[in-house]
Structure 1
Amino acid sequence: MTSTEELLDAVVIGAGQAGLSAAGQLLRKRVEPGTGFVVLDANDGPGGAWRHRWDALTFDAAHGIHDLPGMPLGTPDPREPASRVVSRYYGAYEEQLALPVIRPVDVRSVDHLQGVFTVTAADGRQWRARTVINATGTWDSPYVPYYPGIAEFTGRQLHTRGFTAAQDFTGRSVLVVGGGTSALQFLLQLHEAGATTVWTTRRAPDWTDRFLDASWGVDVESSVSARTTMGLPPLSVVAATGLPVTEQYLAGIAAGVLVSRGPLRRITPGGAVLDGPGPDGGRVPSQGDVADRLLAPGGPASGGLDRVPALTGRACTAVSSEDPLTTWETPVDTILWATGFRASLDHLSPLHVRERGRGVRMERDGVTVAKMPGLFLVGYGASASTIGATRAGRRAAVQAAACL
């Protein structure tokens, strides 16, 4: 379907976990595939954002893939790249349900006039529908914060989105910026591949030793939903979940690889200026209450900070008169920005659903956009995880069917 002449009941934008869950639920609500709804995917094959993940991210290192409705994932080889596992799984789901996925479609805008949405692609194709379920996720909106000197850095800079293999950095000195789980995975892989790593976080790493049970998941969703119902942009995933102290991460802390050297203050042409006690390894900033307890004498990571490798560095002058703390510079030739993503919602700009703070105010169901009846966001806010995306996709489809 490539014209606006036929009016669909729903258009689903995105074929990741949330979009496929929504599509499957539309089928269960007896919305006809093809003539009643379509799924538009920007990729040239199944897998959503997972198809772009680096091969070194094996399935056992991925933080869980929730089953799609009615089709268990099973038990894949934990050593297989997660990108292949998920792409194969999503593809099988599309085939089993005969979902009307159209790809590749680069959606550029969504308009709304007289109760009808018009979805326009970059190549001019259009689809008209009574409802839109937006499941575009975050992969296409990488976030790199500004730091003084970032434009003058002479080495290589890349974001999580551009990472392919740790072996590309063997023998390099890499500054990893970010406090989430992707930063942890990068640090461990880079260290194993023979790179020299320096980890910088804005504040002490948010380690947690809380057991990740069902109540924990409910608490996380509740805290995120509290923001989105007020129209505030969602915080980062780690701000809501914390960093779980797994055996792998505990070993990384004890070895000194997963130890933050302090916040980044500025970037020099050949290095980075950090605000911490110094590069010698003898003193490091607090790693937060949980990690400090683990590293205390008698703890499971006892003595870890004593083994933190010394870094080449020199003392620097204070960044400003208002910030007199001692800073130091360490030379690096690569900066890896593991600083997360933002929701990919630019194509919804014509609908003016963003609040002043750039968030979208959601109804209490977590999927309905308050300012635009008939528009549903899934994979946004509390539904950013795969389990949350599955639930939100089903919920959005139920709400869309109710609109019809």
Structure 2
Amino acid sequence: MTHTLDVDVVVIGGGQAGLAAGYHLRRQNLDFVILDAQPAPGGAWRHAWESLRLFSPAAYSSLPGRLMPAQGGAEYPDAHHVLQYLTAYEDRYALPVQRPVRALAVHRDGDRLRVETDRGDWSARAVISATGTWWRPFLPAVPGQEVFTGRQLHTVRYRDPREFAGQRVIVVGGGNSGAQVAADLAPHTDLTWVTRRPARFLADDIDGRALFDTATARRRALDAGDTDTGGVASLGDIVAVPPVRAARDAGLLKAQPMFARLTEDGAEWADGTRAEAAAIIWCTGFRPALSHLAPMGLRGERGRIPTRGTRAVDEPRLHLLGYGDWTGPASATLIGVGRPARDAVREIAAVLG
């Protein structure tokens, strides 16, 4: 591809958010393309660790238009099942995904936007950025990181507990990823689980559907000018999916407070307590992968692009989808991305006529 191709809409990213956008673009009969940097369907789910589980049953983890089928013998589907679902979803709706195509930059180009890629340029009347966060893992700055001689890796590099069998391992992070990775490792390693604040497990009967409803209710309250309900954060930090529940009930998940520094062979707390470790796994979250939007100079406070709904305030031809609550309640989840995708596409269709 050496010349510029024209379409109504370019969607950047072929994961769950990009597919949800594609479904609604198809229903609006718009001319669009989805550019995906991955070599095959599935987005970030292609890179998840083996034991990763959804927070919700399959029926409550679906993209618009097609329910996720149940996974036999599992209340909460695993990453491989999600990958199969996304692959079938893309095929079912014949979504026009081009891959592997990496979007390098988005430029203003008169009354259009030009998407520069490693396989040529695309010209569009609107762009939906749906690149997610997996590709930009966050690592906190901790004293001593440069002197620790063991292995350090982020969640994105974790795959299987067998590679750490018999080792002393520190897992850092009090969210769902930290709890699931710690539960995965606990039977196989000498585990130390570290969280910045005491671990907060949600009630065992709360799953992703309840979290989506809670996030949506909070957004509606804020939009109406009512008191902030606190949303999901008011309920807790960790969904007790079965493997986490089992490890917790067996006494294998006992969180320690955050250490003060790393040492050559482990970690040290403020009171002088030490723990040796061959590896430290940082389950410390992600940041939005938005470097391709840098040429438009849209970032505001804390590096975030101001939005109204999904639309960029300072560039109405650009929509951001699937990056978290600031681009739609629970929009970084399978169940949550459908509604903001629908709203974004409806707004684009109205503008394009």
TM superposition score category, shorter chain reference = 0.7 to 0.9
1:145-294 to 2 correspondences below 5 Å: 145-192=140-187, 194-209=188-203, 212=206, 216-221=211-216, 223=218, 242-245=237-240, 248-275=243-270
Judge conservation of contact 1:56–1:166 (CA < 8 Å) in 2: no
Write the deviation string for residues 321-343 of structure 1: whole angstroms up to 9, x where unpaired.
Answer: xxxxx231111110001111111
2 CA distance for matches of 1:50 and 1:154?
31
2 CA distance for matches of 1:91 and 1:250?
30
Matched, 1:358 2:303: yes
1 CA distance for matches of 2:137 and 2:233?
16
How large is the Cα RMSD of the aligned pairs? 2.6
1 CA distance for matches of 2:19 and 2:281?
32
Write the deviation string for residues 241-279 of structure 1: whole angstroms up to 9, x where unpaired.
Answer: 62234565444334332111111210001010134xxxx
Partner in structure 2 of residue 307 of structure 1:
none
Aligned with residue 94 of structure 2, among 98, 104, 123: 98
Structure showing greater radius of gyration is 1
Judge conservation of contact 2:138–2:285 (CA < 8 Å) in 1: yes
Write the deviation string for residues 20-43 of structure 1: whole angstroms up to 9, x where unpaired.
Answer: 111111111111xxxx21000011
Partner in structure 1 of residue 227 of structure 2:
none
- Structure 1 pair 72/222, CA: closer, same or farther in 2 (3 Å)? closer
The structural deviation recorded for 1:361 is 1.5
Judge conservation of contact 1:54–1:164 (CA < 8 Å) in 2: yes
1:337-352 to 2 correspondences below 5 Å: 337-352=282-297
Partner in structure 2 of residue 69 of structure 1:
64
The structural deviation recorded for 1:206 is 2.6
- Structure 1 pair 88/247, CA: closer, same or farther in 2 (3 Å)? closer
Q: Percent identity?
A: 37
Judge conservation of contact 1:220–1:241 (CA < 8 Å) in 2: no
SS of the counterpart of 2:89?
Answer: helix
Total equivalences in the alignment: 335
1 CA distance for matches of 2:125 and 2:321?
17
Partner in structure 2 of residue 3 of structure 1:
3
Matched, 1:329 2:323: no
Select between 237-246 and 175-184 the one with higher mean Cα deviation: 237-246
2 CA distance for matches of 1:272 and 1:189?
21
Aligned with residue 133 of structure 1, among 114, 119, 128: 128
Partner in structure 2 of residue 15 of structure 1:
14
1 CA distance for matches of 2:195 and 2:350?
45
Give 5+ residue unaligned stretches, structure 2. 224-229, 326-330
Judge conservation of contact 2:180–2:243 (CA < 8 Å) in 1: no
SS of the counterpart of 2:312?
Answer: coil
1 CA distance for matches of 2:87 and 2:70?
17
Judge conservation of contact 1:110–1:347 (CA < 8 Å) in 2: yes
SS of the counterpart of 2:41?
Answer: coil
Partner in structure 1 of residue 328 of structure 2:
none
